[in-house]
Protein backbone atom coordinates (compact mmCIF):
# COMPACT_ATOMS: atom_id res chain seq x y z
CA UNK A 1 0.00 0.00 0.00
CA UNK A 2 1.40 3.35 -1.06
CA UNK A 3 2.14 5.78 1.80
CA UNK A 4 -0.32 8.57 2.54
CA UNK A 5 0.93 12.15 2.62
CA UNK A 6 2.94 12.22 5.86
CA UNK A 7 2.21 14.66 8.66
CA UNK A 8 5.23 16.85 9.20
CA UNK A 9 5.86 19.04 12.19
CA UNK A 10 8.62 21.63 11.85
CA UNK A 11 9.26 24.30 14.49
CA UNK A 12 8.67 27.80 13.09
CA UNK A 13 11.57 29.46 14.91
CA UNK A 14 14.45 28.10 16.97
CA UNK A 15 17.08 30.18 18.82
CA UNK A 16 20.68 29.65 17.68
CA UNK A 17 22.39 26.94 19.75
CA UNK A 18 19.12 25.30 20.86
CA UNK A 19 17.98 21.85 19.84
CA UNK A 20 15.11 21.33 17.40
CA UNK A 21 13.05 18.23 16.61
CA UNK A 22 11.25 17.76 13.30
CA UNK A 23 8.79 14.90 12.94
CA UNK A 24 7.33 13.12 9.95
CA UNK A 25 4.84 10.27 10.11
CA UNK A 26 2.20 8.40 8.15
CA UNK A 27 0.62 5.07 9.02
CA UNK A 28 -1.27 3.93 5.91
CA UNK A 29 1.72 2.59 4.00
CA UNK A 30 2.52 -1.13 3.95
CA UNK A 31 5.23 -2.28 4.20
CA UNK A 32 6.15 0.38 6.76
CA UNK A 33 7.50 3.60 5.28
CA UNK A 34 11.01 4.90 5.65
CA UNK A 35 11.46 8.65 5.82
CA UNK A 36 13.90 11.05 4.25
CA UNK A 37 14.21 14.78 4.96
CA UNK A 38 15.02 17.60 2.55
CA UNK A 39 16.13 21.16 3.21
CA UNK A 40 15.44 23.57 0.33
CA UNK A 41 14.92 20.48 -1.87
CA UNK A 42 18.39 19.11 -1.00
CA UNK A 43 18.38 15.65 0.61
CA UNK A 44 19.73 15.51 4.17
CA UNK A 45 22.04 12.55 4.59
CA UNK A 46 20.94 10.11 7.33
CA UNK A 47 24.60 9.80 8.29
CA UNK A 48 26.24 13.18 8.91
CA UNK A 49 29.72 11.67 8.90
CA UNK A 50 29.53 10.29 5.36
CA UNK A 51 28.05 13.41 3.82
CA UNK A 52 29.91 14.61 0.75
CA UNK A 53 29.28 18.25 1.55
CA UNK A 54 31.18 19.66 4.51
CA UNK A 55 28.70 21.12 6.93
CA UNK A 56 28.97 22.01 10.54
CA UNK A 57 25.46 21.04 11.47
CA UNK A 58 25.02 18.28 13.98
CA UNK A 59 21.79 16.39 13.54
CA UNK A 60 20.45 12.88 13.88
CA UNK A 61 18.05 11.52 11.28
CA UNK A 62 16.15 8.32 11.99
CA UNK A 63 14.73 6.96 8.69
CA UNK A 64 12.53 4.44 10.53
CA UNK A 65 10.74 6.96 12.77
CA UNK A 66 10.96 10.03 10.53
CA UNK A 67 12.51 12.11 13.33
CA UNK A 68 15.16 14.71 12.50
CA UNK A 69 16.85 16.21 15.56
CA UNK A 70 19.25 19.14 15.47
CA UNK A 71 21.43 19.14 18.59
CA UNK A 72 22.40 22.80 18.29
CA UNK A 73 20.98 24.78 15.40
CA UNK A 74 22.87 27.54 13.63
CA UNK A 75 21.90 30.12 11.01
CA UNK A 76 22.74 27.71 8.18
CA UNK A 77 19.94 25.40 9.32
CA UNK A 78 17.29 27.98 8.37
CA UNK A 79 15.31 26.81 5.38
CA UNK A 80 12.30 25.02 4.00
CA UNK A 81 12.02 21.45 5.25
CA UNK A 82 9.99 18.64 3.76
CA UNK A 83 9.84 14.91 4.27
CA UNK A 84 9.17 11.99 1.95
CA UNK A 85 7.69 8.68 3.15
CA UNK A 86 8.75 5.78 0.90
CA UNK A 87 7.92 2.09 0.68
CA UNK A 88 7.88 -0.60 -2.01
CA UNK A 89 4.55 0.68 -3.35
CA UNK A 90 5.54 4.33 -3.80
CA UNK A 91 6.15 7.52 -1.91
CA UNK A 92 4.39 10.62 -0.59
CA UNK A 93 5.73 14.02 0.39
CA UNK A 94 4.52 16.55 2.95
CA UNK A 95 4.29 20.29 2.31
CA UNK A 96 7.50 22.25 2.79
CA UNK A 97 7.61 24.16 6.05
CA UNK A 98 9.89 27.03 6.94
CA UNK A 99 12.19 26.83 9.96
CA UNK A 100 13.77 30.09 11.04
CA UNK A 101 16.91 30.08 13.17
* 3-state percent helix, strand, coil for the chain, nearest multiple of 5: 5, 45, 50
User: Is residue 2 in a domain?
Assistant: no
What are the backbone angles phi and psi of residue 91, rounded to the nearest 5°? -150, 165
Give the chain's domain count: 1
pLDDT for 58 equals 84
User: Is residue 65 in a domain?
Assistant: yes
Instruction: Tell me what the mean pLDDT of segment 17-29 comes to.
Output: 97
User: Is residue 1 in a domain?
Assistant: no
User: Is residue 44 in a domain?
Assistant: yes
| Residue 86 belongs to domain spanning | 7-99
Q: How many C-beta atoms lie closer than 10 Å to residue 90's C-beta?
A: 12
Q: What is the pLDDT of residues 30-44, one digit of tens each?
A: 999 999 999 999 999
pLDDT for 54 equals 47
CB under 8 A, 24+ apart: contacts of 53-56: none
Classify residue 13 by its DSSP letter. Answer: B
Q: pTM for the complete prediction?
A: 0.88
**CA torsion angle 19 21 22 28 (round to 10):** 170
User: Is residue 21 in a domain?
Assistant: yes
User: Is residue 78 in a domain?
Assistant: yes
User: Does residue 46 register a pLDDT over 90?
Assistant: no
Q: What is the CATH number of the domain that holds 84?
A: 2.60.40.10
Binned at pLDDT 50, 70 and 90, residue 55 comes out as low
User: Is residue 73 in a domain?
Assistant: yes
Amino acid sequence: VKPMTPRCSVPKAVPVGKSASLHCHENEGFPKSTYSWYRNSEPLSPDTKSSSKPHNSSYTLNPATGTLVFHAVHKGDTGRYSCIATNDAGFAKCEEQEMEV
